[in-house]
């Protein structure tokens, strides 16, 4: 039964005038008791706030964190290597390092879901730290540069030496992508004898802290005439380990549809906005049914720009259909770092200039990537998460962008990295 105002008036009309004061006293007393019960908790909260000493504060930036739906001007405080608090005018002590980022964007540390950073161990590898300095990236995902036969070297000589976080999809091919250069180009998935699912399972199990999935490349250039066989073999390893799979696609065979129908919820299709043939749209610019079905099933669509895998024409058609990529990644390697991919912020800028909303662009390199990795502590500025942040600015002007088929686009904005925070400390020079 609900008691309304009328009932209360009716109830009070029966109380003699001389007792009304007592009734009021009673309610006041009740209120005080209630406050007294709550007071220690409130007091404790205030004390925690008072005691929180920040090691580092990013002051006054526009914080965009799609994982929390945050887009406002405030400070980000770091403590103990982690994000400690978002707020206005966070208190600084004498030992607190501070950086004024007024007029800049502060976003979670960028994740580039598709890179090749086995520098020195593979011909396509680039130096992760050099790349991240100019690209605003704090987490590089290496996608299959190493396979089970050479992952140990990647781990010891690159991953463990790097200030930038490196996680990896392990290639199902024994030596990963071992012959990818201007002069020697051999598809590692073409020779089925090199595919080693049992070894991949063993190496993935032994390196669960850094291996987050299984990689395979299929397509005329990566697997010759083997069709979907390498993909089916890679899926065995992915199923056995319970890890997601990232599948590369290039020219047919196999077709875009044949690849998609094999992918499971949570698996990633990279090079998703590639040019014809094997584009996600038909020649009339309609999104293929297989693409829509796969998205509904939970397949993740990643850009993976690279040297041959991103076309403005495809991207325009997809965006016109309201089909945004889940993640934007550079697929940076030795043959595309001097163009057309360049770096992650350039790849992001292309989408911004094609009309993708800024917050969606940021989500596509932060929280969405973290979801694909199943690492919710990344790609976010929630208190307690890894203390990584990227500071960006957006320049206005006329900027030339180029895709993999040589089409140029003039854009009116350019996203520029102004520095990164890694593990709660300023890292960018
Ligand atoms: Zn790649």
Which burial class, exposed, middle or buried, applies to 128 when counting CB atoms under 10 A from its CB (0-12, 13-18, 19+)?
Answer: buried
Domain limits, the chain: 7-40, 51-106, 108-422
Residue 52 Cα to ligand 1 middle (Å): 43
Residue 67 Cα to ligand 1 middle (Å): 27
pLDDT over 80 at 43, yes or no? no
CA distance 424 to 387: 4
Residue 145 Cα to ligand 1 middle (Å): 8
Residue 326 Cα to ligand 1 middle (Å): 17
Distances (CA, A) of 7 to 4, 11, 14, 25, 181: 5, 6, 11, 20, 84
CB 311 within 8 A of CB 405: yes
Nearest by Cα to 382 from 34, 100, 22, 63: 63
pLDDT tens profile 116-152: 999 999 999 999 999 998 899 999 999 999 999 999 9
Nearest by Cα to 239 from 261, 207, 267: 267
pLDDT over 50 at 47, yes or no? no
CATH class assigned to 108-422? alpha beta
Q: Beta strands 105-108 and 389-402: pairing type?
A: antiparallel
386 beta partners: 82
Same CATH fold, 108-422 and 51-106?
no
- Enumerate residues with CB within 5 Å of ligand 1 (an ion): 331
Alpha helices in 228-357 (DSSP H): 229-241, 256-260, 289-297, 312-320, 344-353
DSSP structural state of residue 177: S
Q: How confident is the model at residue 44, as a pLDDT?
A: 47
Q: How confident is the model at residue 12, as a pLDDT?
A: 52
CA distance 281 to 371: 25
Q: Beta strands 425-426 and 245-249: pairing type?
A: unpaired
CA distance 271 to 248: 6
Determine the 3-state secondary structure of 189 from DSSP: coil
Report the percentage of the chain scoring pLDDT > 90: 87
CATH class assigned to 51-106? mainly beta
Cα-to-chain-centroid distance, residue 14: 66
Residue 307 Cα to ligand 1 middle (Å): 9
Cis peptide before 251 (omega within 30 of 0): no
Residue 123 Cα to ligand 1 middle (Å): 13
Q: How confident is the model at residue 161, as a pLDDT?
A: 96
Residue 308 Cα to ligand 1 middle (Å): 10
Residue 84 Cα to ligand 1 middle (Å): 35
What's the chain's average pLDDT? 92
Q: Residue 404's pLDDT band (boundaries 50, 70, 90)?
A: very high
Report the percentage of the chain scoring pLDDT > 70: 88
pLDDT tens profile 406-419: 999 999 999 999 99
Residue 106 Cα to ligand 1 middle (Å): 28
pTM: 0.88
pLDDT over 50 at 46, yes or no? no
Residue 122 Cα to ligand 1 middle (Å): 12
pLDDT tens profile 371-391: 999 999 999 999 999 999 999
Complete DSSP assignment for 279-306? -SB-TTSPBPHHHHHHHHHT-EEB---T
* Least confident interval from 30-34, 66-70, 338-342, 412-416: 30-34
Nearest by Cα to 313 from 350, 349, 346: 350
Distances (CA, A) of 272 to 61, 246, 256, 328, 423: 33, 11, 9, 10, 32
Nearest by Cα to 105 from 424, 419, 335: 419
CB 155 within 8 A of CB 367: no
Residue 294 Cα to ligand 1 middle (Å): 21
Residue 90 Cα to ligand 1 middle (Å): 42
* Least confident interval from 35-39, 99-103, 283-287, 350-354: 35-39
């Amino acid at each position: 039964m609900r008691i309304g105002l009328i009932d209360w008036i009716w109830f009070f009309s029966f109380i003699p005038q001389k007792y009304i004061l007592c009734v009021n006293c009673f309610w006041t007393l009740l209120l005080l008791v209630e406050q007294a019960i709550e007071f220690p908790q409130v007091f404790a909260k205030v004390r925690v706030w008072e005691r929180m000493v920040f090691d580092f504060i990013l002051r006054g930036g526009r914080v965009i964190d799609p994982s929390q739906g945050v887009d406002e001007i405030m400070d980000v405080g770091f403590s103990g290597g982690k994000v400690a608090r978002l707020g206005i005018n966070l208190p600084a002590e004498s030992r607190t390092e501070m950086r004024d980022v007024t007029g800049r964007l502060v976003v979670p540390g960028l994740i580039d879901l598709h890179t090749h950073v086995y520098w020195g161990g593979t011909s396509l590898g680039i130096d992760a730290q050099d790349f991240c300095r100019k690209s605003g990236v704090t987490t590089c995902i290496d996608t299959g540069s190493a396979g089970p036969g050479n992952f140990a070297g990647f781990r010891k000589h690159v991953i463990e030496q790097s200030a930038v976080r490196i996680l990896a999809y392990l290639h199902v091919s024994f030596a990963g992508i071992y012959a990818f250069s201007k002069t020697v180009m051999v598809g590692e998935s073409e020779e089925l004898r090199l595919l080693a699912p049992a070894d991949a399972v063993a190496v993935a199990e032994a390196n669960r802290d850094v291996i987050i999935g299984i990689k395979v490349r299929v397509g005329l250039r990566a697997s010759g005439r083997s069709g979907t066989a390498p993909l089916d073999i890679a899926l065995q390893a992915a199923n056995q380990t319970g890890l997601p799979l990232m599948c590369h696609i290039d020219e047919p065979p196999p077709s875009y549809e044949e690849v998609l129908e094999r992918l499971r919820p949570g698996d990633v299709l990279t090079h998703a906005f590639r040019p014809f043939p094997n584009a996600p749209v038909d020649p009339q610019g309609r999104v293929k049914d297989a693409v829509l079905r796969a998205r509904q099933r939970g397949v993740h669509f990643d850009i993976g720009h690279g040297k041959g895998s991103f076309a403005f024409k495809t991207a325009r058609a997809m965006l016109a259909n309201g089909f945004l990529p889940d993640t934007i990644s550079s697929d940076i390697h030795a043959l595309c770092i001097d163009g057309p991919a360049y770096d992650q912020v350039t790849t992001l800028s292309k989408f911004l200039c094609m009309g993708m909303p800024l917050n969606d662009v940021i989500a596509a390199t932060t929280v969405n990537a973290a979801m694909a990795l199943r690492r919710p502590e990344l790609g976010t500025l929630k208190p307690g998460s890894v203390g990584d942040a990227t500071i960006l600015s957006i320049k206005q002007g006329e900027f030339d962008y180029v895709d993999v088929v040589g089409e140029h686009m003039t854009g009116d904005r350019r996203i520029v990295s102004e520095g990164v925070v890694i593990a709660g400390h300023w890292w960018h020079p």
